[in-house]
Chain A
């Protein structure tokens, strides 16, 4: 049984694509046959973050419109044995996504033996986001520690609970997980960012991970490498924890305590 996981947030720029790339990579590294699909038709990014942009010939929209088959459109990841990417079209818009077409492609992927299908949702609450979440079994709700992001995540949670196939058919609801990204404990302590407690108080869903704010993320996307591959970095470790928790293992929360800058750092103003 393939499990469909949507990575969503409502708000843009919070780290959905970064998370989709690292999360899918993490699952594949654990040996699961995984595909990650870019639903951001017209503004595709996932292929860049995954470093496969030059190998996109056919895309998700081509498959939906029967202009290509899945074998032609699936791009095999270079680093990871079990990982495939289905890129979005850059020339079309979200209206090219049809519910029936998306459903057909997801069913076909499941038949091909994929164990996890990760759907990278576009920002917003329109067609693209609705299509990305429609068939989801579980959802990673990516939230930054700031008020507007929390508000938008709240809105998305409402839609997960009412607009998805599981909600409409009255089945067991989509399993919702809160992932906080760009968390900076020092700025939380200064009152510049919302704390984990503040966020949980509004959203009240289970916290599955905290990804610290880090320059590694930017470096990794510029290199076209999912951040989880940046061995030894906080971000990589945090994404590995996320994958472990998603697979049912207990992992203590890391990178959530404020670190006081050391004496020399304060003296020389290092970062």
Chain B
């Protein structure tokens, strides 16, 4: 136990400015039972998906409706999925006031940290020098991933040197590289990074997804990539983003 010696002017704390990476939840409904059901459907099998991520709740889709949000229901619900709600943004003054009373900070100056290539870069350069984010090296897996196994490369790329079998899942917030047959599910850009790509030495995946845009093997892969070295990326088009599958070489 250490304690400040009497008489000394020990500083027991300092106040500094800090930045925090947040996950955003764009809430589209105040029918929280339905929200709870959807959470259960999407993440029920994977309750550790968020692993304590701080959360910004975006109310902009509800702003005009002026409906009130049942915070005493929503906050415990989100915490059950290991999300830590810290702030709200975008709500009507009344909604924001109620959030403040529920213990959430006002996060209106927060902007989406979506890596929109050019615009973002300019913005960054203009702003005060931001400390370089610490490099998170890719997660490397050199054993086969078999049915029922799952690997999540949190905040980084995933490199798999052995096969990914049907029923296995590889998930990364960045890119996914598989130097062997990819036969299971591959989910790149799991937290919305739209420039993420999937590379496979032999593309035979059951499901491929980039930043939430997905395609299942229900629709067979085109012949020029099926079972061949290929990459998958997301391309913005007039009618939204779509997955582009291309052979490599």
Question: A residues engaging B (CB < 8 A)?
Answer: 125, 151-152, 154-155, 157-159, 161-162, 202, 204
Q: Which residue of B lies closest to A158 (CB)?
A: B146
Residue A161 contacts which of B143, B147, B168 (CB distance < 8 angstroms)?
Answer: B143
Could you tell me if B165 and A154 are in contact, using CB atoms closer than 8 angstroms?
A: yes
8 chain-A/chain-B pairs, Cβ below 8 angstroms? A125-B148, A151-B166, A154-B147, A154-B167, A158-B145, A158-B149, A159-B148, A161-B143
Is the CB–CB distance between A158 and B163 below 8 Å? no
CB distance from A129 to the nearest CB of B (A): 13
User: Which among B144, B163, B166, B183 has the greatest number of chain A C-beta atoms within 10 A?
Assistant: B144
Shortest B82–chain A CB gap in Å is: 22
A152, A159, A204: the one contacting B144 at CB < 8 Å is A204
Residues of B within 8 A of A (CB): 143-149, 163, 165-168, 183
Name the A residues within 8 Å of B165 (CB-CB).
154, 202
- The residue of chain A having its C-beta at the shortest distance from the C-beta of B165 within the complex is A154
Main secondary structure of the interface of B (DSSP, over half): loop
Checking A155, A202, A204 against B148 with a beta-carbon cut-off of 8 angstroms, the contacting residue is: A155
Contact assessment for B147 and A151 in the assembled complex, using a CB-CB cutoff below 8 Å: yes
Chain A residues whose C-beta falls within 8 Å of the C-beta of B144 in the assembled complex: 204
With contacts defined as CB atoms under 8 Å apart, how many contacts are there between chain A and chain B in the complex?
30
Judging by beta carbons under 8 Å apart, are B143 and A155 in contact?
no
A154-B146, A158-B149, A161-B143 known; A204-B167 Cβ under 8 A = no
B residues within 8 A CB of A154?
146-147, 165-167
Q: Within 8 Å CB of B167, what residues of A?
A: 151, 154-155
Distance of A155 Cα from B150 Cα, bound (Å): 12
Q: Which residues of A contact B168 (CB under 8 A)?
A: 158
**Chain B residues within 8 Å of A202, by CB:** 165-166, 183
Q: Are B163 and A155 in contact (CB under 8 A)?
A: no
A125 CA / B147 CA spacing, docked (Å): 12
**How far, in whole Å, are A125 and B146 apart by their CA atoms in the complex?**
14
Q: Which residue of B lies closest to A173 (CB)?
A: B143
Give Cα A125–Cα B163 distance, bound, in whole angstroms. 22
Residue of B nearest to A160 (CB): B146
Sorted nearest first, the 4 A-B pairs with minimum C-beta distance are: A158-B146, A155-B147, A154-B147, A154-B146
B228 to chain A, nearest CB (A): 16
Residue among A151, A155, A158 facing the most chain B CB atoms (10 A cut-off): A158
In the assembled complex, the Cα of A154 lies from the Cα of B148 at a distance in Å of 9
Query: CB < 8 Å: which of A151, A152, A162, A204 contacts B163?
Result: A204
Q: For the complex formed, measure the closest distance between the CB of A171 and the CB atoms of chain B, giving whole angstroms.
A: 15
State the Cβ distance, A172 to closest chain B Cβ, in Å.
Answer: 14
- Tell me which residues across on chain A come within 8 A of B149, comparing CB atoms: 158, 162
In the complex, what distance in Å separates the CA atom of A214 from the CA atom of B73? Answer: 61
Q: B147, B166, B183: which has the most chain A beta carbons within 10 Å?
A: B147
Query: Complex: how many Å from CA A155 to CA B148?
Result: 6
Q: A151-B167, A152-B147, A202-B183 are in contact. List 11 more A-B contacts (CB 8 A).
A: A154-B166, A154-B167, A155-B146, A155-B148, A155-B167, A157-B146, A158-B147, A158-B168, A159-B148, A161-B146, A204-B144
**A152-B148 Cα distance, complex, nearest whole Å:** 9
List of A residues within 8 angstroms of B147 by Cβ: 151-152, 154-155, 158
A162 to B168, alpha carbons, bound, how many Å?
14
Which residues of the other chain, A, contact B163 by a CB distance below 8 angstroms? 204
Nearest-CB residue, chain A, relative to B146: A158
* A151→B168 CA distance, assembly (Å): 10
Closest to B163 in A: A204
